[in-house]
Structure 1
Amino acid sequence: MVVASNHLLFLDTSWLDFQEVSNLWLKVFPLRKDFVHSPLFGEDYFADPPKTWQPRIDNGYPNVVYDEQEKLYRLYYTAFVKDAASESTPLAGREADNYYKAGRQVALCYAESADGIVWDRPNLGICEFEGSKHNNILLLGAHGSGVLYDPTDPDPNRKYKLICRYESGEDESQVSVAFSGDGIHFSDLVPCPDFKWEGNTHNFPMRDEQSGKYFLFTRDVINGMRAIIRLTSKDFLHWEDKHVVACGISPASQVYSMPVFPYGGLYFGLASIYHEGNRESENYDLVDLCFAFGSNPDYLTVITSQDWIKHGPGKYPAAAFDAGCIFAAPPIRVGERDYVYYFGSNGQHSQFRETSFARAQIDLKRMAALVAADESRPFEVLTLPLAFTGNQVRLLSEGAHPSIRYRLLDPKTKEPIVGYDYEDCLPITRSGWQNLSFQGRMQSPWPEKARIQLEVEESALFALDGSVEKISR
């Protein structure tokens, strides 16, 4: 997971004065799919030779980690190893509306890669399936598994932490945890005491660097709709302190699952938004992947109007591999780039669909930006008071023909500071990282505290960095 950053992102509302902005809109920039390599693998139930324990991956709920010691990318995913409808119906005989839920068994499965492109689903020899252990099953009965790679744990046997809804019978389940030193051989499951929530989703764990606690993002039902909640734990076993992090706005827009990651002083969520409630809608029974963000993990704003990973074209069965449902993992560094790995399905959520594993490139500094609501006019942004430790301040922007003027204002009166007004600035006319500079003051330090006002035409604002800091409030 990628977390390091010293940038001030413009989508962070904590340092902007929203009473003094005009013509402003937040734009989410879709991730760039890796069309060269994706899909990376599929279910292969009807392949030659077949993976008979992989009739339906379904949502997948991917967990992708990089084991620094083994120099290996690891994928942990949920799949149905038994699914009567998928097993008995060849691909050519499947229709969008004749799927039925029966004879299903869920499991946690495993894959690995040295380069993040070629993925092997090795024969682990751990779980017996139909008389053979030649499969990549890690744990039978594990639903919605979340796996945390935690190399800072002083106990080497707890370097990998697993939490799942363990389904021991048709109507019996219990959210439970297990631990591993090598990421493959896990301890026996231990039920979480007094766990009050179903865990019928991607139970996504993370370790919060600020508090030192473990967070679990799972799901609850509030007012009849799915919602994401956050729980905390000191030992990864006892979970408490429920917070509602994100809730759907209607039955047609519900948050099904949401892995979360920190970056740039904020928290970001990969929100899978499920659509039901209107069978006549074009997106009925589909799952979008949307952008969520917030300044703390207690509440994230979900932008449901813009897809973060766009669906492929078509409708089942003649559809792109990710035309129907998308469930993703937090970004991870591969070489010099960051990628979001995801499972995409080609059909509706509750019908026949085949699921594949894929990836999309993400630029963490360019996830979302401030842009003009009316592109024919400039927009203005004013920051709250900022602290400056020098004069090396850079702005990250992007546009076809950018024109950006800026000035410094008194932190209290909001009056322009002499020598730092619009007529003194060197306007920005190029995309990328550019210095904010004022004529005649190239070597002079900026005031210790000031506001920055920007007038922006034909450009998107992403971030500031350099000798500038937020002031705690």
Structure 2
Amino acid sequence: MRCLTVVCFLLAVQLTTAVHSSLGADVDVIDIGSRRELLVDHLLIEKLNNVRLVLNRPRDEGIVLKFDKPWEGPFSGYCTVIKDGDLYRLYYRGNPKAGADGNTGEVYCYAESKYGIKWTKPEFTQFEIPGHETNNIVLANAAPLTHNFSPLLDTRPGVSPDQRYKAIGGTMTSGLVAMTSADGIHWKKLREQAVIPKEMVPFDYMFDSQNVAFWSDVEKSYVCFFRVFADGVRRICRTTSNDFLNWSPPVLMEYRHGEGEAPIEHLYTNQTHPYFRASHLYVAIAARFMPGRQVLSKEQAEAINVSPAYFKDTSDAVLMTSRGGEYYDRTFLSGYVRPGIGAKNWVSRTNYPALNVVQTGPSEMSVYLNQDYAQPTSHLRRYSMRLDGFASAQAPYAGGELITKPLKFKGRELAINFSTSAAGSIQVEIQDLLGKPIPGFTLDDANEQIGNEIRRVVSWKKGSDVGSLSNTPVRLRFVFKDADLYSFKFDE
């Protein structure tokens, strides 16, 4: 009987190979290798039967930092959070008074944290503020760069230690200027002239927002996303560089929603960055701005002491993703972080996300939002999510299934990030290209996965080893009941 099972298995593998050979170019096989794949778009999905992709909104964890220093104040913003080893670094604009973009009163401030939950403001002596010889300022007297200074930890292999940190900043008057730092505290210009001057951007207005850059392990280049106005709407452009000095002609990003195009909405900031557990996936938690969509009356605005020009618009945070190229996937059009209860949350330019999502616990990650903008209570707030938990494939109690497109993987085990109810479960079947279950990996062979874990190795009656199918084109069939699947990954 054992010999017969082995023979059947070998015949199934040969059949899968033969089918792939005969279909040839008619079948596109996606090579996922050992990458972690999140259920945030439809790239790998062939069929959903009573399963849907759902947006999982973060949980409000409260205020983590008040912008309460004399040099910070109501117009603080454009925050960046960077996890550097065991240290979390926070950069943000300090600006106590309303003024033109890039005015000399803007400075860049710094805070740090051990776990990303409680933050402290170190005392430096780099820049003196009248009456305050020490402060938490790391960049001043550098207008207009201090309007939207946006740093990154450069992960490019072989990067010079004195340029381990890089940043871009500036407005249309200056273009985007690059800066470098060895320690993230002391900064200098990479060169005097802009690395992305306004002359290379084919739009009438640009840069007046937080513009972001990072090293892409997948694209093997630096990638920069910056703000422009296109036909009167706040849009995002993309450009790349091999050296952070010379950048390609910018391309205007488009938006996809399923098989069609997504609505064009004002996106004030884009906050695009590689997801730290899957660097091939760029996550953008963007600030969606709704100009003229007024919620508060003049009397309500006066009651919360908001600056008079800052209560006639609204904004929230939306989730987008990209896998490189000229498109964002806007799988979910609804708000990712909705404005909270109370008038303070419904003013102009509040609810703007900080750049980067970071891990803040064994099973938790966090995003931070700048809230109570243009108000005396301006602050930064933390929102938590489960790891990989931006979205999920979800099945109801009645059950359903998800079948992937043809894919190849590398590894010996399939691990899933999932949760079920006490009555729910997930099972995984591995099929050949024609959708025929492979012996030993059929639904009847699949063990039920019940529970709530960030990493659970899937198994069948004969065990968990899928190495015999490594680099062979297959389909995965996930059968759900009252369960969510957040991500999956093949491991050695």
**Within 2, Cα distance between the matches of 1:134 and 1:120?**
14
**Partner SS, residue 191 of structure 1:** coil
**What amino acid is the match of 2:105?**
Q
**Within 2, Cα distance between the matches of 1:323 and 1:256?**
9
**What amino acid is the match of 2:253?**
V
1:452 aligned residue? 476
Unaligned runs of 5+ in 2: 1-33, 256-260, 298-310
1:157 to 146, 149, 162: 162
Q: 1:424 to 1:79 in 2, by over 3 A?
A: same
TM alignment of 1:205-220, pairs within 5 A: 205-220=213-228
Q: 1:354 to 1:225 in 2, by over 3 A?
A: farther
**Within 2, Cα distance between the matches of 1:336 and 1:147?**
26
Distance apart, 1:434 and its partner CA: 4.2
**Within 2, Cα distance between the matches of 1:440 and 1:154?**
47
1:232 to 219, 240, 260: 240
Distance apart, 1:435 and its partner CA: 4.2
Q: Deviations over 1:379-419 (max 9, x none)?
A: 221112334667632333212231334433221x2233445
**Within 2, Cα distance between the matches of 1:403 and 1:75?**
40
Q: 1:320 to 1:241 in 2, by over 3 A?
A: closer
Distance apart, 1:308 and its partner CA: 3.2
**What amino acid is the match of 1:369?**
S
Higher helix share: 2
Q: Deviations over 1:19-73 (max 9, x none)?
A: x3323422122223334xxx122122xxxxxx32223234x111222444xx643
**What amino acid is the match of 1:29?**
N
Q: 1:104 to 1:340 in 2, by over 3 A?
A: farther
Q: Deviations over 1:84-103 (max 9, x none)?
A: 7xxxxxxxxxxxxxxx9998
1:312 to 324, 340, 350: 340
**Within 1, Cα distance between the matches of 2:322 and 2:252?**
13
1:80 aligned residue? 95
1:463 equivalent in alignment to 2:487: yes
1:290 aligned residue? 318
1:261 equivalent in alignment to 2:273: yes
Matched-pair contact (CA < 8 Å) for 1:195–1:239: no
**Partner SS, residue 388 of structure 2:** helix
1:276 to 287, 291, 296: 291
1:332 equivalent in alignment to 2:358: yes
**Partner SS, residue 14 of structure 1:** coil
Across the aligned residues of Structure 1 and Structure 2, the Cα RMSD in angstroms comes to 3.7
Distance apart, 1:296 and its partner CA: 2.1
Matched-pair contact (CA < 8 Å) for 1:192–1:239: no
TM alignment of 1:5-84, pairs within 5 A: 6-11=35-40, 13-17=42-46, 20-35=47-62, 39-44=63-68, 51-58=69-76, 60-68=77-85, 72-83=87-98
Matched-pair contact (CA < 8 Å) for 1:394–1:434: yes
Q: 1:103 to 1:230 in 2, by over 3 A?
A: closer
Range with bigger deviation, 304-313 or 217-226: 304-313
**What amino acid is the match of 2:251?**
H
Matched-pair contact (CA < 8 Å) for 1:312–1:322: no
Q: 1:406 to 1:291 in 2, by over 3 A?
A: same
Aligned length in residues = 422
Distance apart, 1:166 and its partner CA: 5.4
Distance apart, 1:267 and its partner CA: 1.5
1:112 aligned residue? 112
Q: 1:105 to 1:393 in 2, by over 3 A?
A: same
**Within 2, Cα distance between the matches of 1:234 and 1:180?**
19
TM-score (norm 1): 0.76
1:361 equivalent in alignment to 2:384: yes
**Within 2, Cα distance between the matches of 1:275 and 1:321?**
11
**Partner SS, residue 157 of structure 1:** helix
**What amino acid is the match of 1:53?**
W
2:252 aligned residue? 244
TM alignment of 1:121-136, pairs within 5 A: 121-130=121-130, 133-136=133-136
Distance apart, 1:459 and its partner CA: 1.0
1:96 aligned residue? none
1:342 aligned residue? 368
1:148 aligned residue? 152
Q: 1:157 to 1:421 in 2, by over 3 A?
A: closer
Matched-pair contact (CA < 8 Å) for 1:12–1:266: no
**Within 1, Cα distance between the matches of 2:87 and 2:428?**
46
1:300 to 292, 312, 328: 328
Q: 1:339 to 1:436 in 2, by over 3 A?
A: closer
Matched-pair contact (CA < 8 Å) for 1:30–1:309: yes
**Within 2, Cα distance between the matches of 1:173 and 1:440?**
64
1:471 aligned residue? none
Q: 1:52 to 1:222 in 2, by over 3 A?
A: same
**Within 1, Cα distance between the matches of 2:101 and 2:194?**
28
Distance apart, 1:79 and its partner CA: 2.8
Distance apart, 1:115 and its partner CA: 4.5
**Within 2, Cα distance between the matches of 1:428 and 1:307?**
31
**Partner SS, residue 127 of structure 1:** coil
2:404 to 355, 376, 383: 383
**Partner SS, residue 178 of structure 1:** strand
Q: 1:143 to 1:452 in 2, by over 3 A?
A: same
Q: 1:246 to 1:255 in 2, by over 3 A?
A: farther
**What amino acid is the match of 1:64?**
V
Unaligned runs of 5+ in 1: 45-50, 85-99, 469-473
Distance apart, 1:275 and its partner CA: 1.6
Matched-pair contact (CA < 8 Å) for 1:175–1:192: yes
**Within 2, Cα distance between the matches of 1:225 and 1:190?**
31
